[in-house]
Amino acid sequence: MRLLAPIKDHHSERRLFVRRVVLSSIIGFLLCSSVVARLVQLQVFDHELFAEKSQGNRIRIEAMPPTRGLIFDRKGRVLAENLPAYQLELIPEQVADLDDTLNRLAEIKLIDKEDIPRIRSLSLSGPRFKPVTLRFRLSEAEISNFAIQRPRFPGVDFQPRLVRRYPHGESVAHALGYVGAVDTTDLARLDPAAYVGSAHTGKTGIEISFESELHGSPGYRQVVTNARGRQVPPDFRELSASLPERESPLPGANLYLSLDLDLQILATQALRGRRGAIVAINPENGEILALVSAPAFDPNIFATGMSTDEFSALQADAGQPLFNRAVRGTYPPGSTIKPMLSLAALETGATNLTHRNFCRGFYTLPHSTHRYRDWKPQGHGDMDLHDAITQSCDVYFYSISTAIGIDQMHYYLDQFGLGQYTGIDMVGEHQGLLPSREWKRHAFRERADQVWFPGETVIASIGQGYMLATPLQLANAVATLATRGKRFEPRIVAAIEDPLTGTRKIIAPKQLPDVEIDNEVYWETVIGAMHDVMQSDKGTARAAGRDAAYEMAGKSGTAQVFSVGQDESYEADEIEEHLRDHALFIAFAPLGNPKIAVAVVVENGGSGSGVAAPMARAIMDRYLGVNPNAL
């Protein structure tokens, strides 16, 4: 039987079609509405946000490093400045053959061959449109040489930059310190935001101690770039009116130091060829007048960049030119402590102004045969305190040492600043060592080594044994003697100047507690003996004080470097130089109204009165305007 085809239901099909059209229209409307809503949100509500983002895609913010503050001496002479210099730069994307270009630059001696691997690594590690520095400072001859050959080196050119310069080089090296390239260690202690764009920071001395004042604040400028981040020429800039084009950096503050450049140069000349330090202080306020360590180095080489081999050579130098002996070097103070110890002996009753002792060239403790020898083998004869200071009689101080005791020695010498930080406004100071029973109990692990022996008190009385002091501490101590017990915290920076307004902030002296000596006569007795050290017929440093136009006071010292057997002796000229005694001298002048106090330490110099004392005399002469051509 044949089946009949179903009859179409046009009405149902129309209803289905209409429903589909309506549904499609609704979906289309919703989709269009969401697009329109999104466009409204982007174009109207979020316009400012995306406008700023769009602007940021074509504007790069470049940091503008500040100009570092200048440093002057007490008379306004420049010690550290910033000079324009040309540095050689390479833009990697403009160099077709990097290795060939670098090798040809080495051939004409504009770069060192040893630096080629480092330069290649820098060129390949960063954006190819950013310049890479090849040399920090070019001489005029090198600039002229390269200018002629510039067409041979596409992508290489020299650019002007500011470079730190120290006009007086090694004369101020240890006082000022130096600046060097910022490294990861520096960034750990510095604010990264403040050093955006900065290539250098202080490393030692005043440069690091006052880094926050000298550095300044960075600025910025807007640079229009293309999609690759490359700067667009100025003609095509269309910066947003809502943002400033640049903010100028604020230069660092200028520093005025208490240092006297003349004294710095003179002290450097006096120590040339030797190892040691000279520190001079104004006793009236603690200002450092001179601070020199020898041998020194040229701080300019750090500012312009140096090779690894050059830096390694400096570190390996046997003279340790990078070591600041003035504030970090520690030496047995020797007989330079005798004036201070005399005050302690008088105050404690260990001696008096009339007590006499016979010096026969050695001293022995009761019930002991060990001889503590005097520097003068035949002895000094009958001595009182004045004579013992003037002629530096060791036996006299040996004999009163046990009556004073090591703890009283520590108490009084501590008041003069020995064995403690002076508080100088420079980082890196060493504390030195002032021994006591308490110190020894904590310094040694074995119980037998913790016992303080009478013999240790004896040798401590002439500044030997465990006792160590820095040249700065000795200068500070003699300044305290000069003021009859008034103490000031030593400082180098005298004023800080705002470079924009010229306003100077004066750094006020900081007075410390006075030395506790009740009887004023004791001060005059000790200082009178120090005067005779230099200006009497029997003084140990009479040669250095001869024919002076003013009265002065001083004390020589000799610090033994190695131990000598009980029955042994030696001639200084017959032993190796590094085993010879250190030469020390402290002094101040004028006697009645002290203006300068000096400490000199010459490593392995031998005689304090013969080597160190003339240096101290020359420093005082120059500062007081007498015999300006000394040395």
User: Which residues are designated catalytic?
Assistant: 335
Taking CA 490 as the corner, what is the angle to CA 487 and CA 492, rounded to the nearest 5 degrees? Answer: 155
225 DSSP assignment: B
* Contact between 435 and 414 (Cβ < 8 Å): no
Closest CA to 269 of 627, 619, 626: 619
Burial label for 620, CB within 10 Å (0-12, 13-18, 19+), is buried
Closest CA to 287 of 495, 471, 449: 495
CA distances from 470 to 162, 276, 424, 476, 584 (A): 37, 11, 12, 10, 11
Closest CA to 179 of 122, 133, 118, 136: 136
Hey, what are 520's tokens? 């004023």
Q: Is 172 left (phi over 0), alpha (psi -120 to 50) or beta?
A: alpha
CA distances from 438 to 142, 407, 417, 447, 577 (A): 64, 9, 18, 13, 36
Distance CA 336, CA 392 (A): 9
CA distances from 230 to 130, 160, 227, 555 (A): 9, 21, 7, 69
Amino acid at 3: L
* Contact between 197 and 221 (Cβ < 8 Å): no
Residue positions counted in the chain: 631
Closest CA to 80 of 321, 303, 323, 326: 303
The structure tokens 């701080």 sit at 299
192 DSSP assignment: G
* Contact between 302 and 180 (Cβ < 8 Å): yes
Distance CA 48, CA 542 (A): 85
Nearby residues of 22 by Cβ (< 8 Å), 6 or more positions away: none
Hey, what are 65's tokens? 């490093």
Distance CA 413, CA 344 (A): 8
Distance CA 208, CA 200 (A): 11
Hey, what are 572's tokens? 């200084």
Amino acid at 214: L
Closest CA to 475 of 601, 599, 594: 599
Nearby residues of 138 by Cβ (< 8 Å), 6 or more positions away: 85, 86, 87, 88, 110, 146, 158
Largest CA distance in the chain: 161
